Amino acid sequence: MSVDAATVRRIAHLARIAVAEQEVPHLQGELNAMLAFVEQLGEVAVEGVEPMTSVTPMEMKKRHDVVDDGGIADEVVANAPETQDHFFLVPKVVE
């Protein structure tokens, strides 16, 4: 399988990465090189094989449903580009 220019633009949008029109052919070439490389997986007989979901067979540990951390709003927002009263600020989303 290979991707065309329209697909490259669609993937870029899904990934929320702005791609300038002049970058599309170059990206298309790179993505197609990678897709050509992974094409060989088609040779492997995978019928009846379980897909891997956990590389180390183990039961996930659960913790008690209690609050054991918190009250650190200052730290939570400390690295944010824009905040107000412990809220993250973003461009207006509702008119």
Partner 1 sequence: MTDLTSLTIAEARSGLAKKTFTALELTDAHLKAMEDARVLNAYVLETPDHARAMAREADTKIAKGEGGPLAGIPLGIKDLFATRDVRTTACSKILGNFLPPYESTVTSQLWRDGAVMLGKLNNDEFAMGSSNETSCFGSVVNPWRREGSATALVPGGSSGGSASAVAASLCMGATATDTGGSIRQPAAFTATVGIKPTYGRCSRWGIVAFASSLDQAGPIARTVRDTAILMRSMAGHDPKDTTSVDRAVPDYEAVVGKSVKGMKIGIPREYRLDGMSAEIEKLWSEGASWLKAAGAELVEVSLPHTKYALPAYYIVAPAEASSNLARYDGVRYGLRVPGRSIGEMYENTRAEGFGPEVRRRIMIGTYVLSAGYYDAYYLRAQKVRTLIKKDFEDCFARGVHAILTPATPSAAFGIGEKGGVDPVEMYLNDIFTVTVNMAGLPGIAVPAGKDSQGLPLGLQLIGRPFDEETLFSLGEVVEQAAGRFTPSRWW
Contact status: 66 vs partner 1 (CB under 8 A): no
Q: CA-CA distance, 78 to 11, in Å (whole number)?
A: 32
CA distances from 37 to 1, 41, 44, 59 (A): 11, 9, 14, 35
Nearer to partner 1, 67 or 93 (CB): 93
80 counts as binding partner 1 under rule CB under 8 A? yes
Residues that bind partner 1 in the complex, under the rule CB under 8 A:
1, 3, 7-8, 11-19, 27, 30-31, 33-35, 37-44, 46, 49-56, 58, 60-61, 63, 72, 75-82, 88, 90-93
